[in-house]
């Protein structure tokens, strides 16, 4: 039985003061029942997460990770640095990184590999644009994105990753994939992983992301292949984030 996992992606939001209010609100209201919870924060706030979450069941991580281990890569953050501050997760291949930072499938795969090699859990994001969906290219798009990652990870490493299906047209737009639409893609992704490693596919947490809120979370999370959420906007209010966790 896969446990549900709800991860907040704070994006480039926060301040020490605001984070403290948000983190203490999450910790106060979080009941670790059927779901695990984590927040992926801007790198400067990892130390704050370590200080405020270390003795709690809420995990934390980064929103990106370098494909390189160390060296002359100005602005990059290595997996070892995320681990230095107690991180468990690193989001890789978020559509905003793909769109605004030119990250392609191969680079995303290298980032996932660097994370796994260091002992972090990469949260590998895949998803189609509206144009791709309307052109009937959803399956081919997400399968190519996933395949690049499957190509660089060995079979055993597939047990150490989390996937997130995030239709680009649903991120931050208030438009959500219907539970049936999301389920269809999640099942497809799981089948693709199963072709490499059936046990890993059966155990893999595949999260849905795209305008998930307390009001729509229950129906999405009731789908057999939706194992949690990657939450943007609604992760910035403790009440909303907790509402989604509760729905899980
Ligand atoms: C995200 O950025 O990963 C995301 C799902 O954002 P939102 O929940 O705001 O759509």
Q: What are the residue boundaries of the structural domains of the chain, listed by start?
A: 4-247
Which DSSP state fits 211? S
By CB neighbour count within 10 A (0-12 exposed, 13-18 middle, 19+ buried), where does 17 fall? exposed
The CA distance from 133 to 128, in Å, is: 6
Q: Is there an atom of ligand 1 within 6 Å of 229 CB? A: no
pLDDT of residue 40: 99
pLDDT of residue 33: 81
Nearest 10 degrees: Cα torsion 237, 232, 206, 61: -80
- Element of type H or E holding 8: strand 4-9
Paired residues of 210 in beta bridges: none
Tell me which of 3.30.470.20, 3.40.630.30, 3.20.20.70, 1.10.645.10 is the CATH number of domain 4-247.
3.20.20.70
pLDDT of residue 37: 98
Q: Which of 52, 128, 166, 186 is catalytic?
A: 166
Per the annotation, the verdict on 101 as an active-site residue is no
63 Cα: distance to centroid of ligand 1 (angstroms) = 12
Per the annotation, the verdict on 186 as an active-site residue is no
- Other C-beta atoms closer than 10 Å to the C-beta of 104 total 11
Q: Is there an atom of ligand 1 within 6 Å of 172 CB? A: yes
Could you list the pLDDT tens digit for every one of the 248 residues in the chain? 899 999 999 999 999 999 999 999 999 999 878 899 999 999 999 999 999 999 999 999 999 999 999 999 999 999 999 999 999 999 999 999 999 999 999 999 999 999 999 999 999 999 999 999 999 999 999 999 999 999 999 999 999 999 999 999 999 999 999 999 999 999 999 999 999 999 999 999 999 999 999 999 999 999 999 999 999 999 999 999 999 999 99
pLDDT of residue 220: 98
pLDDT of residue 32: 76
88 Cα: distance to centroid of ligand 1 (angstroms) = 20
161 Cα: distance to centroid of ligand 1 (angstroms) = 19
Q: Is there an atom of ligand 1 within 6 Å of 171 CB? A: yes
**Helix, strand, or coil (residue 39):** strand
The CA distance from 45 to 57, in Å, is: 18
pLDDT of residue 15: 98
pLDDT of residue 237: 98
- CB within 8 A of 145, min separation 6: which ones? 93, 105, 108, 126, 127
pLDDT of residue 223: 98
Encoded tokens for 239: 């009440």
Encoded tokens for 134: 């309307």
The CA distance from 211 to 159, in Å, is: 27
């Amino acid at each position: 039985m896969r446990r549900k996992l709800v991860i907040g992606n704070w994006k480039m939001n926060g301040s020490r003061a605001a984070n403290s209010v948000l983190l203490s609100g999450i910790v106060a209201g979080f009941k670790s029942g059927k779901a695990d919870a984590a927040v992926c924060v801007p790198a400067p706030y990892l130390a704050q997460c370590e200080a405020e979450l270390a003795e709690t069941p809420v995990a934390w991580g980064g929103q990106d990770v370098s494909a390189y281990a160390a060296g002359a890569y100005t602005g990059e953050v290595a997996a070892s640095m995320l681990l230095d501050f107690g991180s468990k997760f690193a989001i890789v291949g978020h559509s905003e990184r793909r769109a605004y930072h030119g990250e392609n499938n191969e680079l995303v795969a290298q980032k996932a590999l660097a994370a796994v090699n260091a002992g972090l859990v990469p949260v590998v994001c895949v998803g189609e644009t509206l144009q791709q969906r309307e052109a009937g290219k959803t399956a081919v798009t997400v399968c190519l994105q996933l395949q690049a990652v499957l190509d660089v990870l060995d079979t055993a490493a597939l047990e150490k990753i989390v996937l997130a299906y995030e239709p680009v047209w649903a991120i931050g737009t208030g438009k959500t994939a219907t539970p049936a639409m999301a389920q269809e893609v999640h099942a497809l992704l799981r089948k693709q992983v199963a072709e490499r490693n059936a046990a890993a596919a059966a155990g893999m947490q595949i999260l849905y992301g795209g305008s998930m809120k307390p009001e729509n979370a229950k129906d999405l999370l009731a789908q057999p292949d939706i194992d949690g959420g990657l939450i943007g906007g609604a992760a910035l209010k403790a009440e909303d984030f907790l509402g989604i966790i509760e729905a899980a």
